[in-house]
Amino acid sequence: SVEGGFADYVRLLGSSPRYAEAVAAGRDAGAFARELQEAGYATDPDYARKIEAILRELVPLVEEAR
């Protein structure tokens, strides 16, 4: 299930020292993506850049909806 997948994702990131810097990024989603990439989570060398591009589009929409 989607819920189970997210639970596994959170458990993986929270329990692995490999991803500690990503978790430490807190609410900074761009830093989180960069740290995940640095830790080897993503094989795409542009992973963090792509996530940050999506965030630049979505954040204003979410803020506008508030």
Work out the end-to-end distance of the chain between its first and last CA atoms, rounded to an integer number of angstroms. 29
Q: Look at residue 62 in the predicted model and tell me its pLDDT.
A: 86
Average pLDDT per block of 10 residues along the chain, 66 residues long:
96 96 94 95 94 92 87
Strand, coil or helix: 41: coil
- Sign of CA pseudo-dihedral 54, 60, 61, 66: positive
d(CA 5, CA 39): 20
Residue 66 is predicted with a pLDDT of 86
Distance CA 58, CA 33 (A): 15
- Tokens 């807190």 identify what position? 26
